């Protein structure tokens, strides 16, 4: 069995070395002031479920090897300002040091407005500083609490493997330690971090990323029923099989227009079905079975629907983090049908893994490919990820592949024979680079979620 404790030690050691060597971080932490605490949280590979999380689906997520480590020191006494330094910002053309003024922490909306108005290369700081804003709003830290944060992340940015959730979870844990806020419940931690996305970053994401980053188990798929967040245990891949990711190099964002449009469309479809049935289906679209859907609307939902027409007929959706734009046209049928069928696909996929036979694994691969095709129907596919899936599945050692997370680029998840994983990853990546000129990144390996490691005190000065 891999030495996961040693792996996490390696991450903390690399973090300490970065902190000691980074000139931008010089003087960030006051050695004679409050102690500095660091926390670690991994990214995740979305194996099945993806965008259906906000519709209440079952999802299957693997914590990845790459992780973020964030250190926090309370600025006490403070006027509420927050300074954030990143060890990785310069290589991503981002501002390495961002100072957020005290007045923007009055409430999360104030911070959201400030981030919208600040230069784009500085907006990354919201993922770390947003944790303090939410904690202040909850009354868990002093009203004028300030902090100093240092971020080091190896999770690829914009690849759809939850670089944001990793920073949020690590930041939330480190800040809580700095202010002596007890936070041992992984689901509470995940919910607070999801609020950073919703209230500070205006990103209407589901909660699977934050839960996996907090509670994931190395080498296993975390099973989460997103109603709203019920952990259903874990499942391991059968012996002889493995999954890995290949980042297409096409940047993904859950704050993007396409992702939001599909989310709104799914909730529009849900409201139409709820009005037709006179039932809310216990609060989630994924509780509508394919048979119930066919019985309610034999002719299926409209392929597209104008926002104004929907609002006139149905008065709005149940979603609390998005709204229907009257002038927009939405892919209602594809978005709603994706959620309805994805619940079935994920459920059966997990059953196939538990069965573990060759036939069951071939069926699991079919469900992955069906999910990939459904993303494209929603408008969340991309030429590059289609190419990766096509190239990957042309190899005999590969069973299936699919786009992941919020789609529109990002990472493709590949299911293959375990003994061929390294060879397949390199071959697929090399072929892709030749055909597109893009530089793919291979995402292999796994590591424990944040709560598997203790928050550690950091040496400064």
Which residues belong to the active site? Answer: 209
The DSSP letter of residue 446 is B
Q: Are 165 and 157 in contact (CB under 8 A)?
A: no
| Phi then psi dihedrals of residue 295, to 5 deg | -70, -35
Contacts of 303 (CB under 8 A, 6+ apart): 331, 332, 333, 334
Q: Are 244 and 429 in contact (CB under 8 A)?
A: no
Q: How far apart are the C-alpha atoms of 432 and 377, rounded to whole Å?
A: 23
Q: Which residue has the tokens 């397949």?
A: 424
- The first and second tokens of residue 426, run together, are 């390199």
Strand partners, 400: 415
H helical segments located in 303-440: 307-314, 332-355, 358-378, 383-393, 421-436
Give the length of the chain.
461
Q: Are 404 and 397 in contact (CB under 8 A)?
A: no
Q: How far apart are the C-alpha atoms of 44 and 63, rounded to whole Å?
A: 4
Q: How far apart are the C-alpha atoms of 407 and 304, rounded to whole Å?
A: 20
Q: How far apart are the C-alpha atoms of 315 and 335, rounded to whole Å?
A: 19
Q: Are 202 and 112 in contact (CB under 8 A)?
A: yes
Q: Is 58 helix (H, G, I), strand (E, B) or coil?
A: strand
Q: How far apart are the C-alpha atoms of 132 and 108, rounded to whole Å?
A: 9
Q: How far apart are the C-alpha atoms of 416 and 64, rounded to whole Å?
A: 17
Strand partners, 305: 330
Q: How far apart are the C-alpha atoms of 310 and 316, rounded to whole Å?
A: 7
Q: Is 459 helix (H, G, I), strand (E, B) or coil?
A: coil
Q: How many helices (H) and strands (E) does the chain have?
A: 13, 14
């Amino acid at each position: 069995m891999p030495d996961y404790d040693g792996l996490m030690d390696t991450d903390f050691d690399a973090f300490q070395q970065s902190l000691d060597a980074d000139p931008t971080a010089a003087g960030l932490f006051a050695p004679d002031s409050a102690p500095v605490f660091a926390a670690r949280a991994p990214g995740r590979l979305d194996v099945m479920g993806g965008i259906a999380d906000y519709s209440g689906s079952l999802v299957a997520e693997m914590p990845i090897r790459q992780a973020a480590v964030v250190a926090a020191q309370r600025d006490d006494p403070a006027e509420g300002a927050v300074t954030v330094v990143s060890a990785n910002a310069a290589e991503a053309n981002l501002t390495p040091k961002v100072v957020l003024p005290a007045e923007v922490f009055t409430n999360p909306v104030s911070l959201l407005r400030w981030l919208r108005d600040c230069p784009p290369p500085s907006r990354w700081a919201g993922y770390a500083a947003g944790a303090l804003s939410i904690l202040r709003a909850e009354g868990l830290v002093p009203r004028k609490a300030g902090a100093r944060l240092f971020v080091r992340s190896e999770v690829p940015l914009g690849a759809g493997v939850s670089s944001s959730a990793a920073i949020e979870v690590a930041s939330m844990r480190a800040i809580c330690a700095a202010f002596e806020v007890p936070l041992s419940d992984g689901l509470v931690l995940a919910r607070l971090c999801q609020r950073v996305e919703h209230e500070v970053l205006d990103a209407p994401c589901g909660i699977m990323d934050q839960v996996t980053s907090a509670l994931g188990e190395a080498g296993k798929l975390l099973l989460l029923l997103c109603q709203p967040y019920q952990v259903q245990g874990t499942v391991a891949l059968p012996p002889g099989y493995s999954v890995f990711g290949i980042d297409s190099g096409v940047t993904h964002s859950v704050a993007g227009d396409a992702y939001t449009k599909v989310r709104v469309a799914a909730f529009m479809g849900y409201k139409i079905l709820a009005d037709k049935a006179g039932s809310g289906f216990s609060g989630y679209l994924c509780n509508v079975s394919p048979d119930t859907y066919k019985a309610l609307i034999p002719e299926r939902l409209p392929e597209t629907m104008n926002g104004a027409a929907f609002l006139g007929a149905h008065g709005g959706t149940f979603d609390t983090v998005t709204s229907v734009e009257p002038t927009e046209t939405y892919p209602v049928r594809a978005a709603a049908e994706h959620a309805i069928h994805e619940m079935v696909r994920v459920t059966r996929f997990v059953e196939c893994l538990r069965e573990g036979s060759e036939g069951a694994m071939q069926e699991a691969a079919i469900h992955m490919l069906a999910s990939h095709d459904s993303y494209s129907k929603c408008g969340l596919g991309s030429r590059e990820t289609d190419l990766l899936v096509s190239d990957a599945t042309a190899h005999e050692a590969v069973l299936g592949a699919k786009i992941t997370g919020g789609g529109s680029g990002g990472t493709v998840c590949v299911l293959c024979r375990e003994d061929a994983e390294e060879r397949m990853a390199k071959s697929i990546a090399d072929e892709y680079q030749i055909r597109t000129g893009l530089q793919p990144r291979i995402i292999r390996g796994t590591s424990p979620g944040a709560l598997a490691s203790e928050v550690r005190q950091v040496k400064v000065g």
